Amino acid sequence: MKLRLSVAGLLACVLLAVTSCTKNFEKYNTDNTGLQPSQFSAALIFQGIQTALFGEEGNYQLDQNLNADCYSGYMMSPDPFRGNINNLTYSLVDGWNQQVFSDAYTISMFDINYIAAVGTKASQPDFWAIALILKVETMDRVTDKYGPIAYSAVGKSVTATPYDSQQSVYNQFFLELDTAVTSLNTYIKANPGATPFQKYDLVYNGDYTKWLKFANSLRLRLAMHLTKIDAVTAQAQAEKALDPTNGGLMSVPSDDAGISGGGYHNPLFVITTSWTDISLGAPLQTYMTGYNDPRLPVYASPVVTNPKTAGALPATYAGQYIGIRIGSLITAKPSYNSYSTLNPTTAVSSSSPMIMMTAAEVWFLKAEAALRGWPNAGNAQTDYNTGIQTSMAQWGVSPGNYITDATSTQAAYTDPTNSANSSPALSTATIAWNAGATNEQNLERIITQKWLAMFPEGQEAWTEYRRTGYPKLFPVVTNNSNGTIDSQIQIRRLAYPQAEYTSNGAAVKAAVQLLGGPDNGGTRVWWDVAKANF
């Protein structure tokens, strides 16, 4: 008994003494699921930056789908979110729209800052060039929604980050594209055919010549945004983009910049199928039915009726294309569920790429540049027709006599459920180029066809609608903006997240000064000027 006791006693003591040491504390407090910075290369982050550009369905729905995709006339939700008082009736939902900031800054900007911090700029200038192109593409989507944004100072403080004016942001974009284009040109010359980025590339499978074309095309797009506010910069940057010595522009569908693969799947597929939260917008439907556009069955699915489903449309509408008008009085989800949706087997199939930019868009940008008389832009009519043909080729349809159709115009909109939403057609623009028409008429033609070709990239479509006023879009039926947004002028921007006022208040208040108007959806951003196109 004595012996056993002393052994037990000593054992207990030794146990305590041995474990009583803090040397394991760091081991215990180290994340077992984590990676030390030494355990991975910064290149592995690129895929995350690319997928975050549009995001998974939950992010995408809030980042773009429930704002720009609907404001551009492409789509409309059949879901009466928040009792139908939401972005789509011009009552801006802060909790939705803050997702844009959350994704752009805490994912994309954070990651790009990390890539810079580990010295990629010097060690792999070609990778850094890709990072810069993705940065500009990502943040252009943010600044075009809000106006002034935080850009040059991001990541320098955990408590306060000042905003830059939108003009300054655009200037930084152009400079960053300069760096990217120079680096890529240098690399391609030194290492022809090399594809070191292939493993991380969800866009071009490592083809730097295509990244170069995308960078130049992006510059042309950004330049065109500035036609009203700063025509000189617009033309100068456009000329730089059009200069073939800089690497050229996207011209054929294989140049299209879209994100797919690597486990990323088209978010519109899930939103359309599983969630049934998005449908075809009345404007896209009316232009396409009016124009007999062969792309319509690729973009959209016709009405499917089912008498068992509550609120479904009667069987007589089966097979027709009927979109939903923005701001419609939607009381409950089944009431608009049987309207046309996006086509989940073609345009928004699970594996179809999320399109950042297409060659077709570039042809229309060139057409506008030519219309404005800028050098190296070619012939407006040729560019215009090539744009339509390139788009048709992109979606695998035959244009038929579409390009020469000089009579078809937008159709009127009839809502079978609620006639209050119906509207006569707004546009009389026809398809065929008319050299005798005014610049304004031909601009409407270019932008309308560009809009039809850019689907489903609602962000750029909304930007171009705000800049040019085309295509003509039905105003909201219900306006819950409490007078801050004019239904006819339509929404011009999103309001800054309330969270910025809470945590970065001084900076966002200074940004509102830069904006030059109240922080609501009725204030125009810097490049959006209320004046004629010409």
Asked if 497 is part of the footprint of another protein (rule: CB under 8 A), the reply reads: yes
Contact with another protein (CB under 8 A): which of 397, 499, 514, 529? Answer: 499
Q: Which helix (H) or strand (E) holds 465?
A: helix 458-468
Rounded to whole angstroms, the maximal C-alpha distance in the chain is 114
Alpha-carbon span 81 to 84, nearest angstrom? 5
Query: How near is the Cβ of 511 to another protein at its closest, in Å?
Result: 9
- Please list every residue from 162 through 191 that binds another protein, using CB under 8 A: 163
Segment interacting with another protein, rule: CB under 8 A, options 17-25, 181-189, 371-379, 448-456: 17-25
By three-state DSSP, how is residue 413 classified? strand
Which residues of 245-338 form beta strands (DSSP E)? Answer: 257-259, 279-280, 300-301
Asked if 424 is part of the footprint of another protein (rule: CB under 8 A), the reply reads: no
Contact with another protein (CB under 8 A): which of 152, 186, 254, 309? Answer: 309
| Distant-in-sequence, close-in-space partners of 177: CB < 8 Å, separation ≥ 6 | 132, 133, 136, 215, 218, 219, 222
Asked if 412 is part of the footprint of another protein (rule: CB under 8 A), the reply reads: no
Contact with another protein (CB under 8 A): which of 76, 107, 223, 443? Answer: 107
Query: How near is the Cβ of 128 to another protein at its closest, in Å?
Result: 17
**Whether the Cβ atoms of residue 168 and residue 162 lie closer than 8 Å to each other:** no
**Whether the Cβ atoms of residue 176 and residue 132 lie closer than 8 Å to each other:** yes
Q: 């998005």: which residue's tokens?
A: 278
For 133, 250, 300, 389, the CA distances from 398, given in Å and listed in that order, are 33, 21, 17, 8
Asked if 2 is part of the footprint of another protein (rule: CB under 8 A), the reply reads: yes
Contact with another protein (CB under 8 A): which of 262, 294, 297, 353? Answer: 262
Contact with another protein (CB under 8 A): which of 119, 123, 152, 160? Answer: 160
Question: Hey, which residues does 413 pair with through a beta bridge?
Answer: 423
Kindly give the pairing relationship between strand 354-357 and strand 279-280: unpaired
Contact with another protein (CB under 8 A): which of 37, 192, 193, 307? Answer: 37
Identify which of residues 42 and 429 has a Cβ nearer to another protein in the complex. Answer: 42
| Distant-in-sequence, close-in-space partners of 190: CB < 8 Å, separation ≥ 6 | none
Identify which of residues 265 and 466 has a Cβ nearer to another protein in the complex. Answer: 265
Contacts 24+ apart (CB under 8 A), 437-440: 439/371, 439/533, 439/534, 440/532, 440/533, 440/534
Identify which of residues 384 and 496 has a Cβ nearer to another protein in the complex. Answer: 496
Asked if 15 is part of the footprint of another protein (rule: CB under 8 A), the reply reads: yes
- By CB under 8 A, how many residues form the interface with another protein? 112
310: left (phi over 0), alpha (psi -120 to 50) or beta: beta
**Whether the Cβ atoms of residue 212 and residue 181 lie closer than 8 Å to each other:** yes
Tokens of 345: 């087997």
Asked if 13 is part of the footprint of another protein (rule: CB under 8 A), the reply reads: yes
Identify which of residues 114 and 395 has a Cβ nearer to another protein in the complex. Answer: 114
Asked if 155 is part of the footprint of another protein (rule: CB under 8 A), the reply reads: yes
- Please list every residue from 390 through 409 that binds another protein, using CB under 8 A: none
Contact with another protein (CB under 8 A): which of 75, 130, 150, 249? Answer: 150
Contact with another protein (CB under 8 A): which of 72, 87, 98, 421? Answer: 98
Alpha-carbon span 391 to 385, nearest angstrom? 10
Asked if 331 is part of the footprint of another protein (rule: CB under 8 A), the reply reads: yes
Query: How near is the Cβ of 170 to another protein at its closest, in Å?
Result: 18
Is 533 buried (19+), middle (13-18) or exposed (0-12) by CB count in 10 A? middle
Query: How near is the Cβ of 507 to another protein at its closest, in Å?
Result: 7
Identify which of residues 82 and 121 has a Cβ nearer to another protein in the complex. Answer: 82
Asked if 38 is part of the footprint of another protein (rule: CB under 8 A), the reply reads: no
- Please list every residue from 206 through 245 that binds another protein, using CB under 8 A: none
Q: How many CB atoms are closer than 10 A to CB 2?
A: 6
Contact with another protein (CB under 8 A): which of 53, 88, 93, 371? Answer: 93
Query: How near is the Cβ of 467 to another protein at its closest, in Å?
Result: 25
Contact with another protein (CB under 8 A): which of 144, 303, 503, 522? Answer: 503
Query: How near is the Cβ of 482 to another protein at its closest, in Å?
Result: 6
Asked if 9 is part of the footprint of another protein (rule: CB under 8 A), the reply reads: yes
Asked if 250 is part of the footprint of another protein (rule: CB under 8 A), the reply reads: no
Among residues 522, 426, 532, 512, which one has the least CA distance to residue 472? 426
- Pattern 263-302, binding to another protein, x per CB under 8 A? xxxx--xxx-xxxx--------------------------
Segment interacting with another protein, rule: CB under 8 A, options 121-129, 166-174, 233-241, 258-266: 258-266
- Please list every residue from 70 through 89 that binds another protein, using CB under 8 A: 81-85
Alpha-carbon span 16 to 156, nearest angstrom? 46
| Distant-in-sequence, close-in-space partners of 105: CB < 8 Å, separation ≥ 6 | 150, 154
Contact with another protein (CB under 8 A): which of 71, 197, 200, 287? Answer: 200
Asked if 8 is part of the footprint of another protein (rule: CB under 8 A), the reply reads: yes
- Please list every residue from 428 through 467 that binds another protein, using CB under 8 A: none
What b/e readout covers 345-370, taking b as 16+ CB neighbours within 10 angstroms? ebbbbeebbbbbbbbbbbbbbbbbbb
Is 434 buried (19+), middle (13-18) or exposed (0-12) by CB count in 10 A? middle
Asked if 24 is part of the footprint of another protein (rule: CB under 8 A), the reply reads: yes
Query: How near is the Cβ of 13 to another protein at its closest, in Å?
Result: 3
Asked if 36 is part of the footprint of another protein (rule: CB under 8 A), the reply reads: yes
Contact with another protein (CB under 8 A): which of 53, 76, 88, 109? Answer: 109
Alpha-carbon span 326 to 71, nearest angstrom? 8
